[in-house]
Amino acid sequence: MKKVLTWLALAFVVFYVISAPESSADFVRTAGHALGDAASSLAAFFDSLA
């Protein structure tokens, strides 16, 4: 069952990327910025501890 759900999720992602590439790119860009901001915040936190 887990394999089936994994393949269905992968198929949905591929379908979404093919059907709406601009929206997919925006989502990835937004997620990348969020991860970068989180990493910067963690770095600032650990710098303030030192």
Q: How do residues 28-43 score in pLDDT, each as one tens digit?
A: 999 999 999 999 999 9
> Which domain, by its residues, includes 13?
1-48
Q: What is the pTM of this model?
A: 0.63
Inter-residue contact 17 to 24 (CB < 8 Å): yes
Inter-residue contact 24 to 16 (CB < 8 Å): yes
Residue 19: what pLDDT? 93
Residue 28: what pLDDT? 92
Rounded to whole angstroms, the Cα distance separating 5 from 3 reads 5
Residue 50: what pLDDT? 77
Residue 30: what pLDDT? 96
Give me the chain's average pLDDT, please. 94
Q: Radius of gyration over alpha carbons of the chain, in Å? A: 17
Torsions phi, psi of 31, nearest 5? -65, -40
Q: Look at the chain and report how many structural domains it folds into.
A: 1
